[in-house]
Structure 1
């Protein structure tokens, strides 16, 4: 029974809050909002003070006129009657007056009078807003002196309901306009920032999509961009050209060295093997030394072969003979080869249908043999190795082992060149650290995909995916 392996967790690259767009938009929007909000609050405070200041002028006018009118009436009638006549002359439905003598008794009041107003005992010129019966009143009290003699307190109440409604409406309109302006401003700023950062996104796209053999051919033109962006693009282009030249030199050196060393090493390996076969008079120590030399020479030749394959793939010179193959039949052939030389039983699990794909037959065999060889090397003796063939919009080939497994942090690195999970173990098994790198390169070249899921001490599943051919 095949084991189950948990899929790897996928991780997000960066938190979106770290985006330059969001930071700039949020920062500018916050400053703009604070600025417009501050202006709106200042206008609110200013309008309220203006409303109160206007009514203060009326209070001051009445305070200056009232004693003079009372004094004129007092020459003809009594003081109380003079105060009442003066109040009646100044009163209307929006301005109400009442007078309290020194004993705090109301001795005169307007015809339009509300008893609720008498609850106000504030005796100063600072108006106080009082609300009742859905009306707003501005009330204040002032001391009244006639002929420089204090006679009581005059209270003035002004109906400011209409002004209050107008003021509230203005504040609501101002609030709405402020919110609307901030919203439009944020949208405009976000759009402008997105437009301004498009050149940087283009640079990122170029950097992400460029391949090694295209480094010297990259051209980044930003004629209408800001000077800083153009300078960045020019610097990046020069850097890519330098990297392209270095890459070409490195590939040329690798290619030349591999070609130059492969032939003499092959000859050396042949002579060593011939000497070992005919060395009847050699001591056991000499035979052991020759065996080690042959093994290392063969290993070095294989390393050079791998390097040449990678160099050809990097330069786009790898030769592929694409043809239609039936995976089921080819996989039986591969298993027969492995079982003949490895003395191991491999379980083939397949659906009752032919799986057809278009690949290079020899390269596909190389990929499968490499993966099966890895499964055998890193599996304990008598552990099950299986190959599973399925279809799900694609051809899926899985090489499954129950070996030592690969730690999760290392699973993304095993396809890197010269990377080894266990350096000592790979050295003992003759690994060069290039096998899986070549497999991945060949798979990608033939429009396929390769992935791995694994658990330590439970095994690994290498999955090959290729497009199906009807």
Structure 2
């Protein structure tokens, strides 16, 4: 994006809008003033003509010189003519005493009609507006009068008004230009800053942050970019940690596989029993490597939202019996008591296979980390959810490890976890599955006394 592109575009758009408003507005104001002044002039001329009509009708029989006197003292342009259309008095040079009035106008007045017309002086090119009034003397047509008013006066007045309108429009355009520059800069500046910030983020400078100074949509965009930068930074950090963890987790089984395979290849064993031991180690490490890859694949699918859920009515009581039946032999092999406390439970609408996967993982963890004592599984309904608690009397979890217990590859006792075939992904998968099933999971533990996992699922999952 060009640095000035958005600034110029916004400025041009706003100025265009201002011009669209101001130019027609100036034209409308000009028309309004012209109409007002023209209407006022017409009104004044008609009123003046009516007054003169009354005056002349009352004095029509006296000395004709009185017409010249009235015509000269009124200050207006007047033509007076008799019943034959002969001008008796005129204040206009182009209409002299004794001339004949235009026949069509004279005929209108003879019929007693009033009229108004426009007139252009051919010599001076001056424009006039004039009205005609018939003079009725003793009930008969006795002549008529024309009263003229120069339109040039209106034009002169409008010329002054138009100058003021133009000055006002120019002033408004200058103010609008200043306002446009201010607003365009105010809008474009943060956008330009954001554009530069996103370029820095694209280069890999994920610590880039934008200073937010507004709470409008532009401010929201800035916050979104800051959040994006933070999320990308976290993603890069997590990815680096994940790659380091994967590399570390793969190194051990691969080194075992490579080492014992070389021993077998070079026949560095004493007897068949030792060979069998090496083979078992290779098989176990292969299985652990396969499980690690499978767990990583499944966790990746869940985090990307690609895990499919198959909804159905799930009988929780039956599901608990099936899960405990699967781990019963393993618990008995360690002389652990496995107790189930079942209350009356409703069926829930969810993915039974995934719930079973969660419970199996938690139960196997409890068995693996409990040397003696018992494991208690309790299920009960709480409002609109079913709560399942798995409590053991095992080694427990140190308090400092509890916040990270659901993190990938986090192990409380790393060496012991590997001995038990753990990948460090089991609880991370449990956490993602519970979240996917719209449930929640909590853990409480006292180091050396045991651990309690409490997981709940809604009665009816929202799809």
Shared fold, TM over 0.5: no
TM range (shorter): 0.3 to 0.5
After TM superposition, the score normalised by the length of structure 1 is 0.43
